[in-house]
Amino acid sequence: MTAPHRASEGSRDVVTLRLGDEVLAVPARSLREVLEPMQITRVPRTDDFVRGLINVRGAVVPLADLRVPFDMPRKPADADTRILVLELPLAGTLSVVGVIADAVHEVTQFDLSSLEDVPAVGTRWPPHLVTAIGRWNGRFVILPDLEAIFDSYLGGADTSPPSELEHSSCD
Amino acid sequence: MDAETLAVFREEADALVESLQDGLLALHDAPGDTALIDRVFRDLHTIKGTGAMFGHTALAAFVHDFETAFEKIRSGETAVTPDLVNLSLRAYDCIVRLLAGEGRDEAEERSVLADLARHMEGAEPPAEGWRVTFRLPPDTLALGGKPELLLEELSALGQARVQVLADRLPDLGTLEADRLHLGWQIEIEGAPDEQAVRDVFLFHEDDMELEIAPLHPDAAPAERDAPAPPDAKAPAAAAPPKTGAAPAMRVSAERLDEMMDRVGELVIAEARLAELAAASSDPALISVAEDIQRLAMGMRDTTMSIRMTPIGSITGRFRRLVHDLSETLGKPINFSVTGEETELDKTVIEQLTDPLMHLIRNAADHGLEGTPEARAEFGKPPAGRIDLSARYSGAEVLISLSDDGRGLDEDRIRARAIDRGLIAPDADLQRPQVLSLILEPGFSTAATVTELSGRGVGMDVVKRTIETLRGSIDVSSEPGHGTSVTLRLPLTLAIIDGLLVDVGGERYTLPLAAVEEIVELPPDKRHSNGSTQFLDIRDRLVPFLRLRDLFSTTGEPDPFQKVVVVSAGSSRIGLVVDRIIGSNQTVIKQLSPLHARLTTFSGATILGDGTVALILDVPHLVEHGPTAPVLESAA
């Protein structure tokens, strides 16, 4: 989790989005497109995190809900709801996944030196699921460790060290 | 050389060596078949030709020597014997290693060639020396050939006297400086053997005039100056790589996959069009939609048939394996293959090789009795039998591997399973369930792990491979009479005919080929009472499973629920759904790794209106459905 400091040269392009009362940022280079809410097929007998499937231009794509690992209340889709289509390494291969957001704000730059580690105590964020905390428009922004989060739902194995993310999302 | 050319060469060479091995094994059973001998010879020659063309000089040189030895057989001087076939198979292995470019064993190559030469007629008779007369084609110089190098090489073989043959020199007026009109005659004293001399001309032989004669004619057999093989003039063109095949074209698997994807999209778009047309009730539109539907179906079938490969394409290596096993184990084995023309998706075929090799190894090593005497006790002939058969069964292909060996010992399996903690000591299992325990990880019945069957791959690996192909395995065995392992595999992994059903407003697809019939749920069964329930369908009890319960569906069930009776193997199960929507073309899309542990579904598909529907894994439901609908862990 000290990785962002090591690579403190320069900045990182991120997309900011709202989820519940929080603002999250995901690497812009993982983002393929942002979609309006669409017909979601429920997948029975699976974890709430990947309870849906969507059709993204003829491909069947799993739809993940980050509110599940972060233990946030869920609410029905409204006019602001969006689906972010991301490309992430899953089980070693680059896969396309959808992620639900209550709203998508903008693509912005984070100065890497301004990123901070997650405090070990006093936050409601499981530290192993977050790479860093940033600031945007005077608010705290969470940079979730998407790879670790998705990994933890792959084989039921423990989450991998977040430093992994540095290789794939910051260069 | 660019990667694509190399790939073409590899592919061609693979087909050739496969054909070569088939031919050699067939020769083992039919030693006098001249057509077979010709085929082997032709394969060798083509391998040499392509090898040389693609710069595999070591390969070409080796095959050349192999071919030379085989020439004796073709000319009828030497008969084919089992020893010779074994020797040739060893040579074949060398070729495979040379082709792969790794694991080359030069000592083995030399020893194989020496053995071959010895076998043909004892060693070559020693010669005092050779008189070599050769003329290269006139365009040699223009093509960059250097005759002086040949002369140097020949001179290095022994004491050489070179003489130029200028008898074909034209008049100076018509002489073209870049054409070669000269010939040479070289007398080499104490040259090693004819082969060494011939090797110098290895890559020129096809179009040149070459005569090699002993310096002292009485010291060597008469037909020394035998010309190069008659079909040597046009090595590649004269040798069809496969016998009995229709003209074929090689297409990369990648392009086929791409085409399959496009057809998949087409089928989905076609379904959308059909829906629109039906809604519009415009007769012209409906008729066009029907035409498009027919064309799309034809397109789908053709594309899928392109991907289909006969099982026969991999049985050659099984024959070889059995041949080798028979030698190593000292057990005579008759191996037969039926249904070689049965076709399966190429991807399926490729992944089947290893599991089948493993099953054959098991059958030969553990299945068959060690000695003819042990077999005689059961009144069986001395030679063991291993049969591989493939046949269609609905939308599945059944591949069985049976042996007539000692069969599986139920008690031993049970004891081992208890020992390994696979089952509880007091578990009450039927015989088929006990037998299927051998497929579990960590199970091995062989008291001593042998070099052959104990190499890490267990039956559990076989099971896993078959399951990733959406197939299943049945084991049956009769003590004293043998064991039979049957693999059930889906015909294709790409597009199926599906039956679309509605469960609580959600749509699911199941393979139509698995559907036996659809009946209405009797009114007295409408409400779940918790225990496993059965339907009485024409005096047969069929267990049924409420998909609404399985999928935790909310809302009121349809007052007239239907039961779709599906089968897999010999078992059947009824699936209770709310409504039948109809049949549809189902393009199977794999689920993401996030859903890899979800065993209820085998994939997903995209419907005409663009929404995603899950495809039910029927074999899994049939196997586990009635007993454990709620035990499955969430993936």
For chain B, list residues whose CB is within 8 angstroms of any CB belonging to chain A: 265, 268, 506, 550-553, 589, 591-598, 600-601, 604-606, 610-614, 632, 634-635
Q: How many helices (H) and strands (E) does chain B have?
A: 17, 21
pTM for the structure as a whole: 0.53
Residues of B whose CB is below 8 A from A90: 592-594
Alpha carbon distances (Å) from B54 to B9, B14, B368 = 7, 14, 45
The tokens for B427 are 């578990």
Q: What is the pLDDT of residue B99?
A: 81
Residue with tokens 């280079």, as numbered in its chain: A29
- Cα atoms found within 13 Å of the Cα of residue A56, Cβ hemisphere only: 22
Cα separation, B229 vs B72, in Å, equals 11
For the segment B324-343, the average pLDDT, to the nearest whole number, is: 90
Show the domain range for A47.
3-169
CA-based nearest distance B264→chain A, Å: 9
State how far residue B287 is from chain A, nearest Cα, in angstroms.
Answer: 26
- Per the prediction, chain B carries an average pLDDT of 80
**SS3 of residue B105 by DSSP:** coil
Report which residue type is found at A77: A
* CATH number of the CATH domain containing A144: 2.40.50.180
**pLDDT reported for residue B441:** 72
Chain B nearest-CA residue for A151: B594
DSSP notation for B109-150: HHHHHHHHHHHHHSSPPP-SEEEEEEE--GGGTTTT--HHHH
Q: Could you report the per-residue pLDDT of B230-251, keeping only the tens digit for each?
A: 443 333 333 334 445 567 777 8
Which site among A55, A86, A152 would you substitute to test the B interface, given the most B Cβ atoms closer than 10 Å to its Cβ? A55
Q: What is the DSSP string of A16-62?
A: EEEETTEEEEEEGGGEEEEE-----EE-TTS-GGG-EEEEETTEEEE
Please tell me which residue, B262 or B158, carries the higher pLDDT value.
B262
Per DSSP, the residues of B329-370 read HT--EEEEEE-TT-EEEHHHHHHHHHHHHHHHHHIIIIIS-S
Rounded to a whole number, what is the distance in Å from the CA of B610 to chain A's nearest CA?
7
Across residues B507-515, what is the average pLDDT? 91
pLDDT in tens, B554-593: 888 888 999 999 987 778 899 999 999 988 878 788 888 8
Q: What's the sign of the alpha-carbon dihedral B541, B542, B543, B547? A: negative
Q: For the residues B43-64, what does the mean pLDDT come to?
A: 79
β-strand B506-511 against B612-616: which pairing, if any? parallel
Tens of pLDDT, residue by residue over A9-35, are: 578 899 999 998 889 999 999 999 999
Question: Which pLDDT tens digits describe chain A residue by residue (171 residues)?
Answer: 444 444 445 788 999 999 988 899 999 999 999 999 989 999 998 888 998 999 887 789 999 999 998 888 888 888 999 999 999 988 778 889 999 999 999 999 888 888 888 777 667 777 888 988 888 888 889 999 999 899 888 853 333 333 333 333 333
Q: How far is B606 from chain A (nearest CA, A)?
A: 7
Shortest CA distance from A61: residue in chain B: B592
Residue with the larger pLDDT of the pair B626 and B14: B14
Contact call for residues B241 and B12 (beta carbons, < 8 A): yes
Residues of A in contact with B595 (CB under 8 A): 43, 46, 50, 62
Query: Total structural domains in chain A?
Result: 1
SS3 A3: helix
Rounded mean pLDDT, B439-468: 64
> Across the strands, what pairs with B133?
B185, B211
| More confident call, A160 vs B287 | B287
Instruction: Answer whether B327's CB lies under 8 Å from B86's CB.
Output: yes
β-bridge partners, A31: A86
Residues from A contacting B (CB-CB < 8 Å) are 39, 41-47, 50, 53-55, 58-62, 64, 90-91, 93, 95, 97, 150, 153-156
Rounded distance between C-alpha atoms, residue B400 and residue B487, angstroms: 6
CB contact under 8 A, A46 and B634: yes
Q: Is A139 helix (H, G, I), strand (E, B) or coil?
A: strand
ipTM of the complex: 0.82
- Only one residue has tokens 């097929």, namely A41
> Rg of chain B over CA atoms, in angstroms?
33
Q: Which of A39, A58, A62 sits opposite B594 (nearest CB)?
A: A62
Which residue, among B509, B554, B595, would best test binding to A if mutated, counting the most A CBs under 10 Å from its CB? Answer: B595
> pLDDT tens digit string along B529-563?
655 578 888 888 899 999 998 898 888 888 899 99
**Neighbouring residues of B594: CB distance < 8 A, sequence distance ≥ 6:** A50, A62, A64, A90, A97, A150, A153, A154
> Do residues B507 and B581 touch, judged by C-beta distance below 8 A?
yes
Share of chain B above pLDDT 70, in %: 87
In contact, B445 and B416? CB cutoff 8 Å: yes
Nearest to A47 among B265, B606, B635 (CB): B635
Q: Do A45 and B594 touch (CB under 8 A)?
A: no
Cross-strand bridge partners of residue B185? B133, B163
Q: CA of B423, closest CA in chain A: separation in Å? A: 25
Residue at B251: amino acid letter = V
* Residue of chain A whose Cα is closest to the Cα of B635: A46
pLDDT at B389 over 90: yes
